[in-house]
Amino acid sequence: MLRIENCRLVWPDFRAEYTLTVAAGALCAIVGPSGGGKTTLLHMIAGFETPESGALSFDGQDLLPLPPAKRPVAMVFQDHNLFPHLTAEENASLGLRPSLRLDRSEREAVVDALAAVGLSGLERRRPEDMSGGQRQRVALARALVSRRPLILLDEPFSSLDPALREDMILVVDAMRRHRAVTILMTIHTPDEVADVADQMAFVAEGRVVASGSPAEVMSRPWSSDRSA
Amino acid sequence: MRLPLPHPGSIVAFAILALVGGSFIALVTIDGGKPTLLSIGPYLFRVLVFSLTQATLSTLLSIGFGTALALALARRRFPGRDAVLAALGTTMVIPGIVAVLAVISVYGRSGWIASGLSVLGWSSDASIFGYPGILIAHVFLNSPFVARIVLDGLSVVPAEQWRLASSLGFTPGQSFRHLDWPVLRAELPGLASLVFLLCFKSFAIVLALGGGPGRATLEVAIYEALKIDFDFGRAAWLALVQIAVCLSVTLALNRAFTRPPAALTTRLPAARTDRSHRALKRVDVGVLIIASVFIGPLLLSVLSGIAFIGAVLDRDVAVAFATSLAIATAAAAVACLLALALGAAARRARLRSRSPAVAAFYDILPNLLLAVPPFALTAGLFLMMRRFVEPAQAGFLLLPLINGLAALPFAYRSIAPRQFIAEERYGRLSQTLGLSGWSRFSIMDWPMLRRPFAAAFALSMALSFGDFGIVALFGGAELRTLPYLLYERLGAYRLDEASAIGLLILAMAFCLAHLSGRMSHAAD
């Protein structure tokens, strides 16, 4: 279980204080207006931002003293997830070994992960030769092979067209079901995840304003501007 | 049937080619075609070997030191870092003659180091003239420029990738391999070609610090053939060899000088993961100390001229300042107007006539001028006009023209892309509104061009103001610019006065470069 309790972050132009609980193995959609603090929340969990106060734990382990590389967290960003000079297989391998020196079983795990996101046969391709959707699948494969139980997706599909987005959300849902990972995903279009998400959190002005089932959150009055 | 008028850009392109071609024909034919390339063979070989050797060494040192400095600056934060970055950005306008002054003031026989050693009772017979002086001056001018460009390249690595590196636990070696090296691999070939070209064509530094006729670049050899030996044929052959070498490098430069596109990053910049590594910290501190010890005294030596400003401000300096300013203004006008005309022609060829090859010709023409030796061009033009004007008058006409042509590549790079964007955004709208001619320029183009135009104008002025190039041919009692005056005072070993004049040139060039930087970064 992911527990965030009164984690406070302060900048000259922005303040945030988060409290949220996500059950183990759940898919939690983070929605809310632009600039409301969705990405900052994920950055804090990943260790890129350090709260001034509060508590943050996953499965009972205190995450705050850990640097990003030691946290049980894998992250996929909206853009720039892949290194352009590496192939799809090498990019995915980074999740397992940043040195790229893999033994046979590790290499097989990478190939399996690429297959799991529908990229069999494209292992040797470089990012410039792949579509936006394929690139994001490689990033998902990297998150999978890292075997980290908490995956953070920061608007990973916002640059894709609606049909492809729907397809990718199904890939994420399958990942969550078959690999027993907990997923937090920020998204601009909550309707698209309403059917697969177990939980939805509405974040605005640096706070989790509401959290519950997607139907519950989307029926509240603020949901009219949830994707602003 | 009425024939359509040619585009002003076509006329400008034709005029540039005619000027270059005409000046070479004038040079080659003045001596009846003699001497031949064969007769100057051994001399040419010696000059070529020296030019290539010093340019290669200067490039290797500048690239190596500049890259190390860029990486150290990318990894470290310290008080005054922003000021250091601003200073690095403006080094490209430090005139060569001012670098000469700095090197002599610090490393010369009676320079700071020699004086310091003599206080301690030591003396040294080492001479700064020859390779040491030339290499120090070239590295002083070029390594900060390299550092700035590489640092800009490193800063466009998306913050997401540094966060990824942090999340995946990259070691410093892995960070270098996956994040820094791709940037360096993209930047360094083009940058090395540019530095090589600048050092290969170096004039003021080699003339003043070469230490004799045995140490001449092709540019200096052309100057000596024209000014001392009046051997126009030799100058023409030397110029053709220089053009061949420079064209090869310029064409390579045109292909290689690419930069990864700037990437949008998230709100907060990410910290580099290799910043906390202890061994790297020691390396970076070492590089920054070496840079301060190397660059600091050279800059300070010029700044020390402030103590003598009052003593040096006489009528000669005032006239030279006004002359430099007038020539720089005229040169900037030449550069910007030509860039405007060529850019418009390239845009028309690309968007309306659908002739990418013609557009590419307009794009590459300003860069090709980098390959043409200004002395050969000047001498050829002077030969064509000498029946009509006196040498000093010719100087007043040719200095703005040649300096303007020298600044054209930089002006074009600033202006032409904005012209293209203006057409893409508003071209169709202008057509539907029936805008043409002056109204089209003033309503559609000028609002988008005025800032890059101002930036290009200021930069062209800065480059021309400090130039000690062809003024060496025409300079004298009737035509004296500030750099020429500085060269005279250096020659007379009046170092205090020279440093005051150097400071004036530097201050003016920095102000103009700063203005140019502000204009080019400002929003429309």
The DSSP secondary structure of B48-93, one letter per residue, reads HHHHHHHHHHHHHHHHHHHHHHHHHHHH---TTHHHHHHHHHTGGG
The reply to whether residue A80 touches residue B268, judged by beta carbons under 8 angstroms, is: no
pLDDT per position as a tens digit, B224-257: 888 888 777 788 888 888 888 888 887 776 665 5
B262 in contact with chain A, both atoms CB, cutoff 8 A? no
Of B304, B337, B359, which residue sits at a domain end?
B304
What is the rounded CA–CA span in Å between residue B425 and residue B435?
A: 14
Largest CA distance in chain B: 88
B186 in contact with chain A, both atoms CB, cutoff 8 A? no
The reply to whether residue A43 touches residue B263, judged by beta carbons under 8 angstroms, is: no
The reply to whether residue A47 touches residue B168, judged by beta carbons under 8 angstroms, is: no
Count other C-beta atoms under 10 Å from residue B120's C-beta. Answer: 7
Q: A79 near B160, Cβ under 8 Å?
A: yes
Contacts of A101 in chain B (CB under 8 A): none
Question: What are the distances in angstroms from CA B284 to CA B279, B289, B355?
Answer: 9, 9, 50
Of B276, B304, B332, which residue sits at a domain end?
B304
Contacts of B267 in chain A (CB under 8 A): 39
Q: Is residue B407 part of a domain?
A: yes
Confidence of residue B482 (pLDDT cuts 50, 70, 90): very high
Query: Which of B158, B169, B263 is nearest residue A69 as measured by Cβ atoms?
Result: B169
The reply to whether residue B178 touches residue A146, judged by beta carbons under 8 angstroms, is: no
Q: Which residues contact B276 (CB under 8 A, 6 or more apart)?
A: none
Q: Is residue B31 part of a domain?
A: no
The reply to whether residue A43 touches residue B167, judged by beta carbons under 8 angstroms, is: no
The reply to whether residue A94 touches residue B161, judged by beta carbons under 8 angstroms, is: no
pLDDT at position A170 is 87
Reference B463, options B108, B5, B92; nearest CA is B92
CATH code for the domain in which residue B245 is found:
1.10.3720.10
User: Per this entry, what is the length of chain B?
Assistant: 524
Name the amino acid, one letter, at B109. R
Same domain, B335 and B408: yes
Locate the chain B residue with the closest alpha carbon to A78. B160
Mutate to test the interface with B, among A80, A128, A144 (most CBs of B within 10 A): A80
Confidence of residue B268 (pLDDT cuts 50, 70, 90): very low
Average pLDDT, chain B: 84
Find how far residue B191's CA is from the centre of its chain. Answer: 12
Same domain, B103 and B205: yes
Same domain, B269 and B329: no
The distance in angstroms from the start CA to the end CA of chain A is 30
A186 in contact with chain B, both atoms CB, cutoff 8 A? no
Which of A173-177, A217-221, B211-215, B456-460 is most confident? B456-460
Q: Is residue B27 part of a domain?
A: no
A163 in contact with chain B, both atoms CB, cutoff 8 A? no
Contacts of A94 in chain B (CB under 8 A): 168, 178
Q: Is residue B8 part of a domain?
A: no
Q: Among the listed ranges A98-112, B245-259, B442-456, which one has the minimum average pLDDT value? A: B245-259
- The number of domains in chain B is 2
What is the rounded CA–CA span in Å between residue B336 and residue B445?
A: 14
Q: Is residue B6 part of a domain?
A: no
Reference B472, options B219, B303, B179; nearest CA is B219
Same domain, B269 and B345: no
B167 in contact with chain A, both atoms CB, cutoff 8 A? yes
Same domain, B385 and B356: yes
Mean pLDDT of B18-35: 75
Same domain, B377 and B449: yes
Q: Is residue B23 part of a domain?
A: no
Contacts of B168 in chain A (CB under 8 A): 69, 94-95, 98, 146
Same domain, B270 and B362: no
A199 against B359, higher pLDDT: A199
Q: In Å, how far is A78's CA from the nearest CA of chain B?
A: 9
Q: Is residue B26 part of a domain?
A: no
Mean pLDDT of A18-35: 93
Helix segments in B348-386, DSSP class H: 356-368, 374-385
- HSE, CB side, 13 Å, CA atoms: give it for residue B257: 17
Same domain, B117 and B144: yes
Q: A137 near A118, Cβ under 8 Å?
A: yes
Of B275, B304, B333, which residue sits at a domain end?
B304
Same domain, B341 and B279: no
What is the rounded CA–CA span in Å between residue B308 and residue B462?
A: 23
A66 in contact with chain B, both atoms CB, cutoff 8 A? no
Q: Could you list the residue range(s) of the whole structural domain that residue B97 is in?
A: 37-304
Q: DSSP string spanning A112-161?
A: HHHHHTT-TT-TT--GGGS-HHHHHHHHHHHHHHTT-SEEEEESTTTTS-
Same domain, B200 and B271: yes
Q: In Å, how far is B184's CA from the nearest CA of chain A?
A: 13
Q: Is residue B409 part of a domain?
A: yes
Helix segments in B268-314, DSSP class H: 278-303, 309-312
Question: What are the distances in angstroms from CA B459 to CA B45, B207, B471?
Answer: 36, 25, 19
Q: Which residues contact A19 (CB under 8 A, 6 or more apart)?
A: A4, A5, A6, A7, A208
At A56 the three-state DSSP class reads strand
DSSP state of B2: P
pLDDT at position B293 is 87
Same domain, B126 and B271: yes
Same domain, B341 and B447: yes
